[in-house]
Amino acid sequence: MVNKEAADRTNGRGYLRIATEEAFAPASLLQTYLKLANEPGCDDPGFKSLWGFYAASPSARAQFIMNGLADLGAQRLAHMDAAGIDHQIIALTSPGVQVFDAPTGTSLAIEANDILADAVRAHPDRYTGMVAVAPQDPASAVKEMERGVRKLGFKAVILNGHTRGEYHDDPKFWPLFEAAEALDTPIYLHPNAPPKQMIEPFLEAGLDGAVYGFGVDTGLHMLRIICAGVFDRFPKLQFIIGHAGEALPFWLYRLDYMHAATLKSNRYPFMKQLAHPISHYLRNNIYITNSGVAWQPAIEFCQKIIGPERVMYAMDYPYQYVLDEVRLCDEMTIPSEHKKQFFQTNAERVFKLAL
């Protein structure tokens, strides 16, 4: 529920703007990224392409992103005020700690979560945190999820794509899903660059990053999790995916048809018969944000396909800090109740916010 003070803060819009896929990274972690990207032994070409560039480039875009990621104080709040963003749901940027060996990843996750928790404590009305984990060590990741939710007050878990080339449909990662369901905490599956076994044709064309490779890999990753039967095993588990659903809503008709046809023909002996068609899981276990896609046709299509109660606003700060995109979303010609769900009430429900 919105209290009176919050209602006044909408300046007559009738809704708060809650941005649900916003990024941060401790400055020390960004330096660790650069060091790792430059190591001759680093065998993650997507990571080298991403952080070898952003952490070293003098370009205005890279500098803005590096400064924006590291700041959880006055600069971020000023940018939010300028854009009219009332609240950010903040997560450790991609690839989080998932690129490191297990002990390093585990300790860096704790460090990053503590830094974010301090910022949330300082600005509880403006920030909500997601828990970063190191799935390389599933048992420690579960412990950190529990600490993040129960002790730090975080409201979601962030998974940044593959973990050292492995997708999370592998049953060894399922303890994370079991814990998220038990904690009633959604998992945000955020992109990373495709893993080395997939990235070469993307890299050759300069399409490995957010322009395309991120979306292809994240759509695939989400589908792998659905097709592995994760939601049949954990029916209350909720995922969130960004970028207008990583194109999955657009594919949905064919996914349903071809998944059923493939099963029926016994083409792959390992393929599981699911309890429901793929579309069921998109409509019951997955929320979509529009991060980076301030475009009414795509947003409206997602609302139509999976329901207006499952589509949320995200800016993708600091990667896509574009004031005009907020205006475009405000001016969408969709029913006003759908707009309020999109900007405010879905996020309040999903992240259990009391603004």
Question: Contact residues for Ca ion (CB under 5 A)?
Answer: 316
CB of 226 to Ca ion, least distance (A): 21
AA identity, residue 110: I
Contact 194, 164 (CB under 8 A): no
Question: With respect to Ca ion, which residue has the nearer C-beta, 61 or 254?
Answer: 61
> Where do the H-state alpha helices sit in 235-309?
243-246, 248-264, 278-284, 296-306
Question: With respect to Ca ion, which residue has the nearer C-beta, 173 or 188?
Answer: 188
CB of 277 to Ca ion, least distance (A): 29
CB of 29 to Ca ion, least distance (A): 16
Report residue 66 as tokens.
Answer: 């590096």
Report residue 85 as tokens.
Answer: 């963003």
CB of 151 to Ca ion, least distance (A): 26
Long-range contacts of 208-211 (CB under 8 A, 24+ apart): 208/45, 208/46, 208/49, 208/50, 209/49, 209/50, 210/292, 210/319
Question: With respect to Ca ion, which residue has the nearer C-beta, 66 or 228?
Answer: 66
Question: With respect to Ca ion, which residue has the nearer C-beta, 138 or 219?
Answer: 219
Name the maximum alpha-carbon separation found in the chain.
59
Question: With respect to Ca ion, which residue has the nearer C-beta, 316 or 348?
Answer: 316
Contact 145, 133 (CB under 8 A): yes
Gap between the Cα atoms of 16 and 312, Å rounded: 12
Question: With respect to Ca ion, which residue has the nearer C-beta, 149 or 314?
Answer: 314
CB of 291 to Ca ion, least distance (A): 6
Q: Which residue is nearest to Ca ion (CB)?
A: 316
Q: Of the candidates 99, 113, 123, 126, which has an alpha carbon nearest to the alpha carbon of residue 34?
A: 99
DSSP secondary structure letters along 93-127: PTTTTTTS-HHHHHHHHHHHHHHHHHHHHH-TTTE
Report residue 319 as tokens.
Answer: 């990667």
Gap between the Cα atoms of 228 and 96, Å rounded: 24
Question: With respect to Ca ion, which residue has the nearer C-beta, 25 or 274?
Answer: 25
The structure tokens 């007050």 sit at 153
CB of 273 to Ca ion, least distance (A): 34
CB of 23 to Ca ion, least distance (A): 5
CB of 86 to Ca ion, least distance (A): 19
The residues near 276 (Cβ < 8 Å, ≥ 6 apart) are: 232, 284
Phi, psi of 5 (to 5 degrees): -60, -45
CB of 317 to Ca ion, least distance (A): 8
Q: Work out the number of other CB atoms within 10 angstroms of the CB of residue 289.
A: 31
Question: With respect to Ca ion, which residue has the nearer C-beta, 15 or 24?
Answer: 24
Gap between the Cα atoms of 249 and 65, Å rounded: 29
Question: With respect to Ca ion, which residue has the nearer C-beta, 179 or 293?
Answer: 293
